A and B are shown apart, each in its own frame.
Chain A
Amino acid sequence: MKKFTYHTPAGIGEALELLAVYKEDSALVAGGTDVVIELNERKKTPAHVIDISRIDELRYIRQDTHIRIGALNTFAALEKDQWIRAMLPALHETVVHVGSPQIRNLGTIGGNVVNASVAGDSPTTLLAYGGELVLRSTKGERVMTIDEFNEGPGRCQIRPDELLTEVRIPMLNRNEGVGYFKIGKRKSLAIVVLAVSIYIKRSLDNRIEDCRVVLGAVGKHPMRVPEVEAALRDKPVARNVFRESLPLFTAVVQKTIATRPSVVYKREGVRGAAMGCFEQILSDFELA
């Protein structure tokens, strides 16, 4: 670790002031589960480290038109939140499978999004939910979708003077369901080898009115799969329909990462992960 000046802003305003001054010369630390490793390995050598973990005003979970999640919520906080569990079961399923209890106690959802790892846990699910991000700086506020935000790997649209303050998800009704399925190499402390998250909105006659199908750890960031989405639209919400779509998942993975050694695994495993999502949605819709 190189020497740096350490700042601990107590509020958002103070943090934004520091970011406005130090910009690229600084690194933000929330939970530290990614940044501290990069500092130790000298992959980052900032002159200033801004530790935002004391900004308690970013730990809220609120609901109005959206479900609003303050960026400093840890995975453990989200895991324990009964309301998140009831309203956003796929997000709950995501956070309980992040790392280990120790990592979940420190790691934050905001940090996970900004870190923009190819194998990040929550961005895949947030993209399926149609999540948006609120970015603030001394100059004002920007809101963008996860799709727009991701550039990956390790890159995203955040500017050096900006702070991610909120992740928000549009309110879902009973006819909308989301599933999430992660494959890791072991049962805990495993990074995402492959993840699938699927959102489905059904019509009154039980057809797929809208859907978002997202693959994690396949492309350089979580990616929508228009081919599958198009094939599903207007079809009945039924297990056999979902089963019939599985070969498309394989084809997309094959096409996307044709030359990588892991394609041998991912093109087959993606069907199991996708079917895991579909089963959760069927269960949400009480069709299981």
Chain B
Amino acid sequence: MKKTLLVICLSILLLLFFLVILPSFTIRKRQGTSLGNGNLQMSFIKNKPINFSFISDKSNLQSLSIDMKNPAILNNSKINFKISGPNSQREIVFYGNNIGDPSSVPLKFDSFSDPASTTYQVSLSTDNVDPQSLYFITNQDYQPLFNSYYLQSDLKTNLKTNFNRQLNLFHQRNLILNVIYITLIVYLILAL
């Protein structure tokens, strides 16, 4: 009986380690609002700056990645990136050679302290004059594809969030397989 209890405790600990503790310690940022489907290209030139906005679904916005294309990585024009929240704004200057053919360009800034559901305005401008050398990848409505990333909270909140997340995932899984899986594990432990 003691051995069985020990195996049960070790099994639970093993699962807790991988499912809750490990992600809580290692995952520092999470993906949030994004626009991800599309393969159209929109030229990015001096007299056509790009502006778009999005509503964040989490607090602590920390970075954006924007899908762009620099064919053969030949263009090295200056690009100004600006993101504004209700109380503050961040600016980044980068260059054409930071863009791949194509790539999702990561733009990391000091995280915003605004809560979830905040609207952010993004604007990008360039001194590029060649209409065939820099592009945004867009959807059918010519909206640039992007991902937003958010800084994780403190460890205690992370542990709680990950535990709840795993519970939710378990509920979403196939019920019959859940029952079979748990029954099998319990049966094997009892057979020891």
Q: Do A and B share a complex?
A: no
